[in-house]
A and B are shown apart, each in its own frame.
Chain A
Amino acid sequence: MTSDPNVKPEHEFPIRVLVAKPGLDGHDRGAKVIARALRDAGMEVIYTGLRQTPEMIVNASIQEDVQCIGLSILSGAHNAIVPRLMALLKERSADDILVVLGGTIPAQDIDFLKQQGVAAIFGPGTPLETTVEFIRENVKPRGVPA
């Protein structure tokens, strides 16, 4: 941290989050509720809209310079989508972006997804505040080398 009084301390920059809905599924209630909850918590939120490929999501994340990607997957396609997305992030040297996942994820898939690099998985019924807090505490600060 710098002591220069003209430089804003880290916490005064809002956290930037990309909320994304990959796969063919169109059930976007959860994605929209969480987008709004993050925004109400003071974060800057970009919502991608529906049916985004991992390529589109990674591109948008880099262009928008986000610190966190929140994926919403309810269709069961997570085991196909998540590894592709994580590999792309690595390829583009953007794997410092925190990736969290929400939706209906069977218990037996959780270890695999975490090994792939997903930081947290939020199942049905998770309080909004739990997700907000997790993102707040786990995003990499800006301007600090990874």
Chain B
Amino acid sequence: MSRSTTEDVLKSPAPSAELVRSPRRLSVAEQQWIDSTLTPALAKSPERPIGADTGTNRNLDGTARFTTISGVPVDRLYTPADLPADWNEHTDKYLGQPGHAPYTRGIHATGYRGKLWTMRQFSGFATPEETNQRYKYLLQQGGSGLSVAFDLPTLMGYDSDHVNSEGEVGKCGVAIDSLEDMEILFSGIDLEKTTVSMTINSPASVLWAMYLVVAEQQGADWKKISGTLQNDILKEYIAQKEYIYPPAPSMRLVIDTFEFGSLFTPRFNPISISGYHIREAGATALQELAFTIYDGVEYVEWAVRRGLDVDDFAPRLSFFFNSHNDFFEEIAKFRASRKIWYRLMTDRFHAKQARSQLMRFHTQTAGVSLTAQQLMNNIARVAIQALAAVLGGTQSLHTDSYDEALALPTEEAARIALRTQQILAYESGVAQTVDPLGGSYFVENLTLKMEQGAFEYFDKLDAMGGMVRAIEQGFPQKELAESSYQYARAVEAKGKIIVGVNDFVVEETPQQILYIDESVRESQTEKLKRLRARRSQADVTRTLKALREAAAREPQAEKGKISGANTMPYILDCVRAYATVGEICEALRDVYGTYEESSWT
């Protein structure tokens, strides 16, 4: 490895961002420019807000106010006066070099020149048979990894034939009830060669166990398979709300996967700490950044409390961000995220390995930014968002399909989304230079402000006693509800323009979409009936009972050995006996109960 030694890293601590100058100290040249050029220009043609003049986009003195999509004021021009006073002297500390602490410029010394980002398209719908066909199509078209979308019953730990599953089977993703479905899902796909990401949270360990058993059946080596489990329960309580159990036992299940993964699947990421959903639920760019990274802090705290060594699991922690429309704000968010994580892992957790200190992340373009009006406009939005992710140094990328404001994507829409990434990678030239915006006064200023803002949120969250406590008090939920309402109001007043929605509107006819009917529930129910008749009921009962007992005990880590009460080996036994997702989750519900949030509006 060409990376720095630990000593090196510790010798050059990253300075905090509080050094951004205020007030600005102008150079003689800038002052002259203001007097001779800018002032007359403003007198001749004053600046005007973009969008309707709502009053909220005017400053107190009446001048136009320009803001990012998150409502953060943006200045006309950025110059050296917007960087810390010692920027030139300590550029190495603020920025570092690519592949070197504090990783602002990226985690690879050569950027994308050695390896492009992974083009990983999130996909899943209807039956495992149909999704398997879509996966093969995506791989044929040059996709470089898979990403599984599960349907709501699977996400909530119900079988397809459960009463609560009515109307939901196969609608938002693929329906998986048992190991049998997972076998079908990956039939003909070599799991040792394909990296697979799975968007599953509350029942993550169950679906992961199914995946591991399918890999085993294929003869794949667990030490070699790689992929990512989303498994981020904290953002479920904050944003997406697909939780089953209360926070404490949920956190325990997550830490069980960290421990299991560090011993048996060294190349698999047991978690993808996700800001994506937090952003979709209405957060600003800064809130997404701060809450996500602080979720990471919470997981590390819980794992360390279990007795795990930070350097045993931290190298496999991965992150997942949203890329929204505001181009430079997004790039700043991505760049700041790596530096913030580096500071936390070194200063707060004293991680020694470089792999523990660097943040790797996946990005998805912002589904929430897509409009149901003039669908094709979404192709342009996605391209801009994808470009921001690439300039921000993402490790992998999902580009949304233009029709996703209406339904799951058609095959054609999914192909155009993938082609957008390929055009960026192969035609635009942006992958040829590492961190090409590094040194831009504007981008560096925004990056430093993101960092500073995130640490301010961390102080608040620390004072609340951590993220689980903050969630119980409704703090992040309320912050999101407020931001999303403010944004909706700004759009309503046309202070923010959404092309085709509140301006530039045309009359349209309905588009062709992917339509999923109720037949998926029928075929999954039929399959479940046959499975329950075929399998050994005694094995199912025995393995579920053992799982319940383990789940009720408190796990304690021992060096180099898995905790006796770690649930993963027990879940694997249940899966091998063809117990269903619903049955396994029901066993855990028996032990842990379920969670209901107080509703904040």
A59 within 8 A of B: no
B22 within 8 A of A: no
The verdict on A49 contacting B596 (CB below 8 Å), with A76-B172, A106-B406, A124-B372 known, is: yes
Residues B167 and A78 in contact, CB atoms below 8 Å apart: yes
Q: Which residues on B sit within 8 Å (CB–CB) of A28?
A: 241, 281
Q: Which residues on A sit within 8 Å (CB–CB) of B501?
A: 125
Q: Which residues on B sit within 8 Å (CB–CB) of A129?
A: 492
Q: Nearest residue in A to B501 (C-beta to C-beta)? A: A125
Residues B492 and A26 in contact, CB atoms below 8 Å apart: no
Q: Which residues on A sit within 8 Å (CB–CB) of B587?
A: none
Interface size class of B (residues with CB under 8 A): 35 or more
B216 within 8 A of A: no
Residues B152 and A104 in contact, CB atoms below 8 Å apart: no
Query: Most A CB atoms within 10 A — which of B166, B489, B518, B601?
Result: B601
B254 within 8 A of A: no
Q: Which residues on A sit within 8 Å (CB–CB) of B371?
A: 124-125
| Cα distance A50–B477 in the bound complex, in angstroms | 14
Q: Which residues on B sit within 8 Å (CB–CB) of A138?
A: none
| Cα distance A104–B492 in the bound complex, in angstroms | 20
Chain A min CB distance to B507 (Å): 14
| Cα distance A78–B596 in the bound complex, in angstroms | 23
Residues A75 and B168 in contact, CB atoms below 8 Å apart: yes
| Cα distance A104–B172 in the bound complex, in angstroms | 12
Chain A, range 81-129, C-beta contacts under 8 Å to B: 81, 104, 106-108, 123-125, 127-129
Residues A47 and B168 in contact, CB atoms below 8 Å apart: no
Residues B510 and A107 in contact, CB atoms below 8 Å apart: yes
Chain B min CB distance to A94 (Å): 22
A25 within 8 A of B: yes
| Cα distance A36–B242 in the bound complex, in angstroms | 23
Task: Mark each residue of chain B from 213 to 243: 1 if its CB lies under 8 Å from any CB of chain A, else 0.
Answer: 0000000000000000000000010001111
Chain B, range 544-601, C-beta contacts under 8 Å to A: 596-601
Chain B, range 158-192, C-beta contacts under 8 Å to A: 158, 164-168, 171-172
A56 within 8 A of B: no
Task: Mark each residue of chain B from 128 to 169: 1 if its CB lies under 8 Å from any CB of chain A, else 0.
Answer: 000000000000000000000000110110100000111110
| Cα distance A39–B601 in the bound complex, in angstroms | 10
Chain B min CB distance to A17 (Å): 12
The verdict on A76 contacting B167 (CB below 8 Å), with A27-B281, A36-B601, A124-B372 known, is: yes
Residues B498 and A24 in contact, CB atoms below 8 Å apart: no
Taking a contact as CB atoms closer than 8 A, the residue among A23, A29, A50, A125 that contacts B167 in the complex is A23
Chain B min CB distance to A107 (Å): 4
Q: Which residues on A sit within 8 Å (CB–CB) of B282?
A: 29, 33
Chain B min CB distance to A91 (Å): 19
| Cα distance A76–B126 in the bound complex, in angstroms | 12
Chain A min CB distance to B161 (Å): 14
Task: Mark each residue of chain B from 482 to 499: 1 if its CB lies under 8 Å from any CB of chain A, else 0.
Answer: 001100110010000010
Taking a contact as CB atoms closer than 8 A, the residue among B168, B243, B406, B498 that contacts A104 in the complex is B406
B516 within 8 A of A: yes
Residues B484 and A33 in contact, CB atoms below 8 Å apart: yes
Query: Most B CB atoms within 10 A — which of A35, A50, A76?
Result: A76
The verdict on A80 contacting B236 (CB below 8 Å), with A24-B153, A47-B599 known, is: no
Residues B152 and A80 in contact, CB atoms below 8 Å apart: no
Q: Nearest residue in B to A74 (C-beta to C-beta)? A: B172
B515 within 8 A of A: yes
Q: Which residues on A sit within 8 Å (CB–CB) of B240?
A: 26-27
Residues B485 and A33 in contact, CB atoms below 8 Å apart: yes
Chain B, range 474-530, C-beta contacts under 8 Å to A: 480-481, 484-485, 488-489, 492, 498, 501-502, 510-511, 513, 515-516, 518
The verdict on A24 contacting B164 (CB below 8 Å), with A29-B281, A32-B484 known, is: yes
Taking a contact as CB atoms closer than 8 A, the residue among A36, A47, A79, A104 that contacts B405 in the complex is A104
The verdict on A127 contacting B502 (CB below 8 Å), with A32-B481, A76-B516, A77-B166 known, is: yes
Q: Which residues on B sit within 8 Å (CB–CB) of A26?
A: 236, 240-243
Residues A125 and B498 in contact, CB atoms below 8 Å apart: yes
B116 within 8 A of A: no
Chain A, range 61-85, C-beta contacts under 8 Å to B: 75-81
Query: Most B CB atoms within 10 A — which of A28, A36, A37, A106?
Result: A28
Residues A124 and B405 in contact, CB atoms below 8 Å apart: yes
Chain B min CB distance to A19 (Å): 8
| Cα distance A79–B240 in the bound complex, in angstroms | 23
| Cα distance A29–B407 in the bound complex, in angstroms | 18
The verdict on A32 contacting B242 (CB below 8 Å), with A75-B168, A77-B167, A128-B488 known, is: no
The verdict on A76 contacting B372 (CB below 8 Å), with A49-B596, A104-B405 known, is: no
| Cα distance A92–B397 in the bound complex, in angstroms | 51
Q: Which residues on B sit within 8 Å (CB–CB) of A81?
A: 167
The verdict on A50 contacting B597 (CB below 8 Å), with A25-B152, A123-B372, A124-B372 known, is: yes
| Cα distance A47–B601 in the bound complex, in angstroms | 7
Q: Which residues on B sit within 8 Å (CB–CB) of A128?
A: 488-489, 492
B280 within 8 A of A: yes
Residues B405 and A33 in contact, CB atoms below 8 Å apart: no
Q: Which residues on B sit within 8 Å (CB–CB) of A76?
A: 167-168, 171-172, 407, 516
| Cα distance A26–B164 in the bound complex, in angstroms | 14
A18 within 8 A of B: no
| Cα distance A76–B514 in the bound complex, in angstroms | 11
B373 within 8 A of A: yes
The 10 residue pairs across chains A and B that have the minimum distance between CB atoms: A80-B167, A26-B241, A77-B167, A76-B171, A107-B510, A49-B599, A24-B152, A124-B372, A125-B501, A35-B601
User: Hey, which bits of chain A sit against chain B, CB under 8 A?
Assistant: 19, 23-29, 32-33, 35-37, 39, 45, 47-50, 75-81, 104, 106-108, 123-125, 127-129
Given contacts A29-B280, A37-B485, A107-B511, 10 further A-B contacts (CB under 8 A): A29-B484, A33-B484, A36-B601, A75-B172, A77-B168, A79-B167, A104-B406, A123-B372, A124-B405, A125-B371
User: Hey, which bits of chain B sit against chain A, CB under 8 A?
Assistant: 152-153, 155-156, 158, 164-168, 171-172, 236, 240-243, 280-282, 368, 371-373, 405-407, 480-481, 484-485, 488-489, 492, 498, 501-502, 510-511, 513, 515-516, 518, 596-601
18 intermolecular pairs with C-beta atoms under 8 Å apart:
A26-B236, A27-B281, A28-B281, A29-B281, A32-B481, A33-B485, A36-B481, A36-B601, A47-B599, A47-B601, A49-B596, A49-B597, A50-B241, A76-B168, A76-B171, A76-B407, A107-B511, A125-B498
